Structure 1
Amino acid sequence: MDRFFSRRETLAGFAAVSASTAIPAAAQNAAPPLLDRIAWQLLDLLPERATSLGVDTGAHADLRRRLEDRSPAGIAVRQRVLTKALADLARVPRAGLDPSTATSIAVVESAFRTALDGMALPYGVATIGDWRNTPYAVVQNVGSWLDVPQLLDGDQPVRDKADAEAYLARLAAMPAQLDGETTRIAQARGMGVVPPAFLLDKTIAGMTRTIAEAANTDGPLVGPLARKGASVPGDWSARAARIVRTAIVPALERQLAELRAERAVATDAAGLLTRPHGPEWYAWGLRAGTTTRRSAADLHAMGRARLTDLQAQMDVILRGAGLTQGSVAERTIAFQKRPGIGFPDGDEGRRQIVAYMQGRIDAIRPKLPQAFRRLARGNLEIRRMPLAQEPGAPAAYGGPGTIDGSVPGKVWVNLGDPSIHNRVTIPDLVYHEGIPGHVWQGEYAQKLPLIRSILAFNAYSEGWALYAEQLADELGLYQGDPAGRLGYLMGLAWRAARLIVDTGIHAMGWSRDKALAEFIAATGLPRSNAESEVDRYCAWPGQACGYEVGRAEIVAQRSRAKAALGPRYDLRDFDQAVVDGGNVPLDVLAGNVSRYIAGA
């Protein structure tokens, strides 16, 4: 079957189109090739994504040698490409389009329009079908200094001489990418926009460490080539080290000098409220992060209400464990300090953490036929994050591997401070990031047209992963495991707190200390974990709000399907409709569910 004509995709506006409706030849013939052409135009702008998808082969092999242009000129090219694509799509006749193609067009138009509106803002990074939108082009969790080492370590293949040469070409392209970012953050500083001082301190420390280790044989840039290319004849490591020493390190030092210039004028103001164009930027960040137009005040209230309900459920478990005194958060902290909950310090603890995570993945696999009609492969490995990334990163994150399965999906786990992980917090983390969360859902998305594998929407992606945690509970993974179920409720409370804290920081002017106090009181997470989370919200305004908004919408759609179908409702069919429909804005998700209901 042509990959552009999956019967499972849909759009609300086309749900009522009969299968017998004649499709105009212009629409039938023009739309899929146009969508394919747009996909390759997008990958030409974002070659790293071609590698992560495993499509940088054959006629497109040159993409494996290149990096995205992050200079002001590169952003201008991106704007022109997106604008032209929207104009081309606007000329496609819509009457009679099959739901699959109609959905793909709606998804592209939503992603591109949102990105263009973000690029029209005077500073920051507006991504295309991604989740790391930020007002700061380089910070503790954003920038080439982090992205390139992770790409080389995780997705860049080194199987033969051509691959090794492509690896070196990417290294040689990194200085230009760094300098493009440096130009943009210097421009933002000229507008009076710099990151909070506490974020810059983390960034400067991390980049200083990266510079010191960059040219080492086991360092973040040379090490992956030395490891992966050990069986490929050639002096690859020596050549890589020369590029790093002579070109990359000087570019990193130029960027570090700019970061220090920013630090000299930075304040501890955590959010966007007091920054030039800050409220405007945050309104766009919320739109991009939730695929809705909901206000900060509305989202803040939603978080408060959800948190109250979750803490009542947590209280029952804590009282059952004999913890009756103090707040829910204080008792949750006390529970996590009990013997047998944590792991040892050092490398032995890190080994046990990874093994425990793998055990939770193994436990859920046999349960998945109860929730899905057709099972994905769940091709997954658990890996430690690159060391330079850990200080500014969350506890873990994950995503699918290549489309052909040759490179597995990954759950990247932050093991810099092993104490942030324990037998309370790990289960929901791996269900969220791995199976049936990001890795699992991503494999279904990769069966859709190429453009659909490239574009993702934060509220759907994170909403599904949070819903995946709920599925694990419904499938019985916490039976006999009150610690794990407490962690599951903590995770949900954590995402409710994100609504509260993100809006508090950026719309209400909260300080970092105020945000930390609210977050720890809501969740009971360790302070080191809380600091990483709050700093992330400061760097990615609006992104943290997508989780609970997306989960709540999936659950609302499930309730709608149950009410409409009665005894014909089956969880497996509903879940299959949601994952088969692909990564979509939330209004398009509602259309997918409408089609499932009509078909059932």
Structure 2
Amino acid sequence: MLDRRTLIATLAATSALAGIRNPAAALTGEAANSEGTRLTAIYERFYDRMIDESPEFATALGLDKDARLPLKARLDDRSPAGIKRSHQLYRDGLAELKKIDAPKLSGMDLVNYETFRGPWESFVKAYDTFDYGLHSWPEPHPVTQLSGTYRSTPDFLINQHGIANAADAEAYLARCADFAVQLDNETGRIKADHANGIIPPDFVIDRTLGQFDRIWAPAPDANGLTKNLAAKTKSIPGDWARRCAAIVEGKIYPAMRRQAEELRAARPRATHDAGVWRLPKGDQYYAYALRYATTTGMSAEEVHKLGLERVADLSAQADAIFKAQGMTKGSVAERMRALGKDPRFLYPNTEEGKAKLIAELNNQMQAIQARLPEAFGRLPEAKVEIRRVPADIEDGATGGYYQIPALDGSRPGAYYINLRDTAENPSWTLPTLTYHEASPGHHHQIALAQEAEGIPRLRRLPAYSVYTEGWGLYAEQLADEMGVYENDPWGRLGYLQSYMFRAARLVADTGLHHYKWTREKAIAYYNDTLGTPEPSNVTEIERYCVWPGQATSYKVGQTRWVAIREKAKAALGTKFDLRAFHDTALSAGAMPISVLESVIDRWVMAQKA
């Protein structure tokens, strides 16, 4: 919980943001029967339905206990009926929002309304337009090297399903059995997609099949699910490991093989075309993916142009640092590549080397957390840990990602880093990644939202990539502005390369899906521009092929965060307070970027008054 002083300061900041009424009023009974109270009631009902419809979401938030314990024995329903129910949730939510008299809303109630009204309308329109690739976000294929029950469920059960007693262990076994059911549900979906010509590119199928081979290679008693249960039930009487191995052998592995066989059957009809333009209504689908990712009306051409401009500017800054350090020969990418191979900055690709890397990341995180009061008035209560991406999925996984903490404090936030090859993580690249994923990045922003007072529970979730990923990238810039690289030119090169990487994403993503680039052209662009290892570039480009638009949210979001801050600074002059700006922007939860701008505009007016 927040201490009283922090809570009062936070409510003061959000009250200034609201302008007229207490942002916590809807949760404290003030202004009963107002439109704001009705709106909050809609969101509370929606949140409860989300929990009940998604047992995995309930577990992720630590809400699968007590009255909701039966949820702990189930997984999300991946069948067509289950997906239809998830779509219906948004249809019903939108229908209720349409009954709200929006002109009667003000302050935080208006922010709450605007946060979901437009996006939910966009979701429902997409459901009516496309008959593929909209389970949760624009993802044209349910099973790829980055998506699918085969890879997400083991990760979920191992890292999020808590086991404290026999009932929890029984629920784990029930979920393992349901895992096989959901694999078959998903196989039915991809069969229908394949029959309609919705087939992943050939290289995506090949990468995915390779991951299947690695996952089912261990004997059932050596599978990660079995070993995890055995480790967590050492003090709980029962034949847990044997029972789990039987489910793995008799249900899970056969269901995985059925899914892999469907992919193999579709492989001869797959093309090498990388972009969604090849799919039915592909151009419309990509336009929707960009709107979903950026919450803006930016066209593919505008996103592409922004990327090219930012890459050029960042390359010039990196060139200046290289020259100051005596590295003058070759392009920026060539010098980055040479620096990436410099033995001074490489960890041994051994368990000991990886343990040292994790330890140094923790030291970096602790150092920056000690300095957070320089830029923030509010700090999160939830802790964060740094962990490795599980070895059996690291080949196709991204370089790093963040897992939200449980609401009840039973599980901290976690920043996962991919250590498949330590050569991909030279030491000069790591600080900025920590600032992005942990503090002051994702963990700081998401934990604060979870702990926020005075907004509906639904508003505390990391709902918008452009806000959350934009913040993560903005946090990297903030760390630089705080002076973390004053005596570390190599670390600042890592920061610039990170920004070049996100700017290059704008170019590559739009190149693949709008300008019809090949996979190979996009990889070559990364090789020539960034100097990052080619295996990493291949993984990244293949990510964009299966997650169209998603990678544009980072740089578009960061650009807008900075623009909103600079607009506020220009308006307030000497009255501008960076700590108050951050606290205000983060205290209202994630939102579309246009809503964030209106929030800060109202805060600026309040400061002027």
Aligned mate of 2:221, from 216, 223, 233: 216
Answer yes or no: is the 8 Å Cα contact 2:365–2:439 preserved in 1: yes
Give the structure 2 partner of residue 137 of structure 1. Answer: 142
Q: Is the counterpart of residue 279 in structure 1 residue 289 in structure 2?
A: no
Matches within 5 A, 1:219-230: 219-230=223-234
Q: Is the counterpart of residue 467 in structure 1 residue 471 in structure 2?
A: no
Give the structure 1 partner of residue 392 of structure 2. Answer: 388
Q: Distance in 2 between matches of 1:195 and 1:305?
A: 32
Query: Which range moved further: 268-277 or 578-587?
Result: 268-277
Aligned-pair distance for 1:482? 1.1
Q: Any gaps of 5 or more consecutive residues in structure 1?
A: none
Q: Is the counterpart of residue 413 in structure 1 residue 420 in structure 2?
A: no
Give the structure 2 partner of residue 190 of structure 1. Answer: 195
1:214-236 alpha-carbon deviations (Å, 9 max, x no partner): 7234x222222222222222211
1:33-86 alpha-carbon deviations (Å, 9 max, x no partner): 321111011122222111111122222222222211112121212222221121
Q: 1:366 to 1:94 in 2, by over 3 A?
A: same
TM-score using structure 2 length? 0.93
1:347-398 alpha-carbon deviations (Å, 9 max, x no partner): 1221122122112112201110011011113511111112232111111111
Matches within 5 A, 1:161-176: 161-176=166-181
- 3-state SS, counterpart of residue 381 of structure 1: strand
Q: 1:477 to 1:321 in 2, by over 3 A?
A: same
Answer yes or no: is the 8 Å Cα contact 2:21–2:107 preserved in 1: no
Give the structure 2 partner of residue 441 of structure 1. Answer: 445
Q: AA paired with 2:63? A: V
Matches within 5 A, 1:32-51: 32-51=40-59
- 3-state SS, counterpart of residue 551 of structure 2: helix
Aligned-pair distance for 1:442? 0.8
Aligned-pair distance for 1:480? 1.0
Aligned mate of 1:306, from 286, 310, 316: 310
1:525-549 alpha-carbon deviations (Å, 9 max, x no partner): 1111111111100110000000011
- 3-state SS, counterpart of residue 231 of structure 1: coil
Q: Is the counterpart of residue 346 in structure 1 residue 374 in structure 2?
A: no
Seq. identity, %: 39
Q: 1:364 to 1:56 in 2, by over 3 A?
A: same
Q: Distance in 1 between matches of 2:81 and 2:107?
A: 37
Answer yes or no: is the 8 Å Cα contact 1:23–1:97 preserved in 2: no
Matches within 5 A, 1:93-492: 93-97=101-105, 99-126=107-134, 128=136, 133-213=138-218, 215-217=220-222, 219-377=223-381, 379-448=383-452, 449-454=456-461, 456-492=463-499
Aligned mate of 2:548, from 529, 541, 562: 541
Q: Distance in 2 between matches of 1:153 and 1:18?
A: 45
Q: Is the counterpart of residue 524 in structure 1 residue 528 in structure 2?
A: no
Aligned-pair distance for 1:506? 0.5
Answer yes or no: is the 8 Å Cα contact 2:102–2:110 preserved in 1: yes
Give the structure 2 partner of residue 550 of structure 1. Answer: 557
1:439-470 alpha-carbon deviations (Å, 9 max, x no partner): 11110110243212345111111100000101
Q: Distance in 1 between matches of 2:243 and 2:437?
A: 36
Answer yes or no: is the 8 Å Cα contact 1:39–1:454 preserved in 2: no
Q: AA paired with 2:366? A: D
Aligned-pair distance for 1:479? 1.7
Answer yes or no: is the 8 Å Cα contact 2:385–2:412 preserved in 1: yes
Q: AA paired with 2:207? A: K
Aligned-pair distance for 1:239? 1.5
Aligned-pair distance for 1:121? 4.5
Q: Distance in 2 between matches of 1:58 and 1:8?
A: 35
Aligned-pair distance for 1:418? 1.7
Q: Distance in 1 between matches of 2:528 and 2:265?
A: 35
TM-score using structure 1 length? 0.94
1:5-53 alpha-carbon deviations (Å, 9 max, x no partner): 9676699xx9665669995724254332321111011122222111111
Q: 1:105 to 1:213 in 2, by over 3 A?
A: farther
Q: Is the counterpart of residue 75 in structure 1 residue 83 in structure 2?
A: yes
Q: Distance in 1 between matches of 2:133 and 2:468?
A: 19
Give the structure 2 partner of residue 574 of structure 1. Answer: 581
Q: 1:589 to 1:262 in 2, by over 3 A?
A: same
Answer yes or no: is the 8 Å Cα contact 1:214–1:249 preserved in 2: no
Where in structure 1 do 4 or more consecutive aligned residues deviate above 4 Å? Answer: 5-11, 14-24
Answer yes or no: is the 8 Å Cα contact 2:13–2:580 preserved in 1: no
Q: Any gaps of 5 or more consecutive residues in structure 2?
A: 2-6
Give the structure 2 partner of residue 31 of structure 1. Answer: 39
1:156-202 alpha-carbon deviations (Å, 9 max, x no partner): 10111121112112112112211121111111111212111111111
Answer yes or no: is the 8 Å Cα contact 1:10–1:595 preserved in 2: no
Q: Distance in 1 between matches of 2:121 and 2:285?
A: 15
Answer yes or no: is the 8 Å Cα contact 2:446–2:461 preserved in 1: no
Q: Distance in 2 between matches of 1:108 and 1:215?
A: 45
Q: Distance in 2 between matches of 1:156 and 1:110?
A: 34
Q: AA paired with 1:515? A: A
Q: 1:111 to 1:241 in 2, by over 3 A?
A: farther
Answer yes or no: is the 8 Å Cα contact 1:464–1:551 preserved in 2: yes
Q: Is the counterpart of residue 56 in structure 1 residue 64 in structure 2?
A: yes
Aligned-pair distance for 1:502? 0.3
Answer yes or no: is the 8 Å Cα contact 2:340–2:532 preserved in 1: no
Answer yes or no: is the 8 Å Cα contact 1:26–1:93 preserved in 2: no
